[in-house]
Every structure is written in structure tokens, then in C-alpha cells.
Amino acid sequence: MPQTIVIFGASGDLASRKLIPALYLLECKKRTVHPLRVVGVSRTPMTSEQWRNKLGETTKRFTGAAFDRESWEAFAPSVHYFPGDIDRPEMFGGLDAYLRSLEGDDESGRLYYLSTSPALYPIMIRHLGQSGMADPSRGTRRIIIEKPFGSDLKSARRLNQEVHASFDENQVFRIDHYLGKETVNNILVLRFGNTIFEPIWNRNYIDNIQITAHEDVLVGHRATFYEKAGVFRDMFQNHLLQLLTFVTMEPPARFEADAVRDEKVKVLRAIRAMTPEEVVANTLRGQYRSYRDEPGVDPLSRVATYAAMRLMIDNWRWKDVPIYLRSGKGMSCRTTQIVVQFRQAPHSMFERGETSSLFEANRLLIQIQPAEGIQIYFQTKVPDTDMEIRQTQFNFNFRESYQGELPEAYQRLLLDALNGDASLFARNDEVEIAWQIIDPIQRVWDDSDSTDPDCYEINSWGPPSADAWIRRWGHQWFDLCPVLH
């Protein structure tokens, strides 16, 4: 069936930087259905030709060596622009008529992409429903909603109600770009496609799990948003909890949307709730030193730009295995990584020589970005010694093993949405349960008016107190900047 992608907020950064380049590259790979039409909607006055010319330059910039002028010229005629004010309900009637003129008499699927301020989501969804544009009787009708999906449990539930008043749940795709990354998808293959890992992927062999999502950039122009959100809402409710579910979920019977998402929801439901006193003990906040000097930031702001959290999953597989989540701005490097720390061998028969390091347990490191790959740390004998041992590592690197650049996450997610595969998109109950986990934590810190986040220097691994905090439970952070080739 022919498809039309309608991008609301088309003059914004996401459309030019991510969405159009992703669609162009999918078209180059001949992965999309034909004909594929892309219609941008924004209040900025512009013609289709002007938008195409602008996108030609930005797509060239953001696709780099993959850009081919001849291929772009073949793709550009399928790109159209419709100026309109989203706040006006009559605009949607005009848009629907314009789309029908492009689609002709044939049935055509539509994918609506909400790439605007989240405050506009309810308005657009309501107008799409009231204008009949959500009705699938003339072809599939699907909608992609960008994060953040709500700012707390109450707003997420309210937004879900708005969505379900116009769209059925199977029409809705709540996007988290982390889940489109090849390395995140590879977690499932690593766990469930190899017999060597699953037998030891449990509390009997794993001591703790650490999930890190650090950024080296500062808050910058996002200060207004960040003052309302902070790191818990910005990173933990979506990215980090999503990674946690992939690492800890049970194997689904089939790789299909509902089976995968059922298992993820089971993990979130099993996360142990915390009292306010336990929140204080099991979380830690930080703020980089110059944050209060950022434009738009309250000079007395207590918003966290760094946070660490210790969670427990109360089920048979993970009982009493701590899972540490952390994320921060202004870190020493940009890295998203998962560390699976195995237990120490029950007994060591080997002597430690003068040059050998302390005996360390096995460790599995999954690098999500930017040095995508997997490292396994294990013990080996140092040659020409009397059984002296040393930790060694085995490396797998995506870019070395597979030729060419890894596809951007939006390529995979847009293609899945076009095909109706919601496996890598969040379901309504999944979103709400994640907010049920984060809201009580955020509420404790919001109520702690006399408590400032711990200060840390830019280009560090966070506040020094974070090291003492994790040592309280007999563990230590695995701080490693990825080696880029």
C-alpha cells in the first residue's frame, strides 16, 4: 500500500537533522514502499520547492559521504510542504483535502509524526480525530509521538486518554530513539541467540549491573526545559529504564510487539518500590559547578544535572541483584554503556605476582554508543611467570566487523512504524509504570528544599560523593571512556 508521512513541526530541527535524512537513506536502500510521500506541516510560510531546497542542503550535511545528489533529486519530488497553524481546527480539514489530492483515489496509509512541542500533542491529536484523519477505513492510520510522553504519571495518563479518544492503541507508536540503535537491539540477540549467556544471566552468577548514559555537553540552550525536567525526567524515565528492561526481561516466546512489550512491563512491575527514606539512601543527585550561570537557569536552582539510582527487581531471576543507573551532563566523555559484573570465583588457587593486578571478576561490557561493541573481561596467565594472572579482554566492534556506518536509530524506527511493527515502541501501560517508578523519587527530591545537589566539576565522572555512595554496598563504578577508532 502507498504511504504518506505527515511531519507536524516540519520547520524544526528534528525534521531536518534526523527525519528527512533517515527517510532519504531508506529510499536509497530501497527499503520503503512506493510511492512514498512526505508532507511537512508548519506555520512557517514556505512553498514545497523552498522546503526541498532547504532540505537538500541539510540532508547533505547530516548524511555526509552517504549523500548522492542524483539520488536526492530522485527523492525530492516526493517531498511536499503545507503551511498551516496547528492551533486552528479548520487547518486539518484543508490538510486532509491536500493529502487526498496527492494520494488520488487509491487507498493510502498515513503516518502522522508529531515533531512539535509536547504541549501541542493533545491539540493535534484531538484535531486529527475530530477531522476524521485518524479513521483507518481508507487505509492504515498511525501516529508517532516523540518523547517526553507526559511530565509525570498524571500528565501521561491524561495524554493517553487524549490519544485513545482518537486512535486505537495499535495505531500509536511512542518513540524513544535509544531503542532504534543497533547496539540496543543486539542486547536481545546476545542474550537469546547464544546459549553461552542465558544459563549465567541470573542472580547466581551476576553480582550487579551498571547502566550509564553520560553526555559531555552542557545543558546550553535546553536550560528552560531542563529547569522543569531535570535529569530524572529527561533520562531515567525513558532511556535508562528502557535499557534496564532489555537487559533483565525474560525471553519472549516470539519477537513480536506484544510479546516483547509484555516482558518489559513485567520487569517494570517487579521493580521494588521505595519509601521516602529509601529514596534518600538509594539515589544521589549532582549539579555541575557552572549550571546556575547558564542563561535561563534560576541562580538558586537545585535541579539535578547528574543522578545515580540503585534499584532492585523482585523476581526469581534478579532477587537481591542491585542495578545501578546513572546519567549526567558535562561528563568527561559521551558514553552509553551497560556493565554486567559477574561474581567472584568462589576460590582462587593462583598466587599473585608482584606485577599482577588485584584479582577481578569477569565482566561483560556492552557499549551502546559511541564506540559500539562488546567487551568480555576474563583472567589469563601472564606468559613466562609462575602462574601469575592478569585480566584480559576480548573485543567485538561493530564498525570493524561490519563494513560501513551503522544506520541512525530513526531509520529503523521509521521503517518499523511504516510496517506497523511496534516491538521497539513503548506501550501505554509501559509508559505509565515507568512514571510510577520515577514520580515518587522526583517528589522526594522536590520536597527536599534544604538539600542542594552535590557539586561536581565539568569533564569529570560526576560528584566525588558518587564513588563513596556506591562503595557503601561493596561495589565500584566502572569508569571507562570509549576508545574511538
* Strand-pair category, 141-145 with 172-174: parallel
- Amino acid letter at 284? L
- The count of residues in the chain is 485
CA distance 248 to 250: 7
The residue written with cell numbers 542472580 in the block is 203
* 115-121-125 Cα angle (round to 5): 110
CA distance 259 to 180: 18
Q: Is 68 exposed, middle or buried (0-12, 13-18, 19+ CB in 10 A)?
A: middle
> Phi and psi (nearest 5°) for 140?
-60, 145
Contact 177, 243 (CB under 8 A): no
Chain centroid to CA 117: how far? 18
Contact 263, 430 (CB under 8 A): no
**CA proximity to 426, closest of 248, 269, 241, 272:** 241
Q: Which three cell numbers stand for residue 480?
A: 571507562
The residue written with cell numbers 512541542 in the block is 117
DSSP conformation letters of 274-301: --HHHHHHHEEEEEETTGGGSTT--TT-
403: CB partners within 8 A, 6+ apart = none
The residue written with cell numbers 529504564 in the block is 241
**CA proximity to 94, closest of 55, 37, 133:** 133
The residue written with cell numbers 509524526 in the block is 113
CA distance 110 to 131: 14
* 347 has catalytic annotation: no
Residue 331 is classified by DSSP as B
CA distance 409 to 144: 14
* Strand-pair category, 206-214 with 172-174: unpaired
Q: Which three cell numbers stand for residue 282?
A: 538509594
Point out the catalytic residue in the list 127, 177, 214, 239: 239
The continuous run of DSSP H or E covering 439 comes out as helix 428-447
Contact 71, 28 (CB under 8 A): yes
Alpha helices in 249-354 (DSSP H): 257-270, 276-282
Instruction: Give catalytic residue positions.
Output: 239
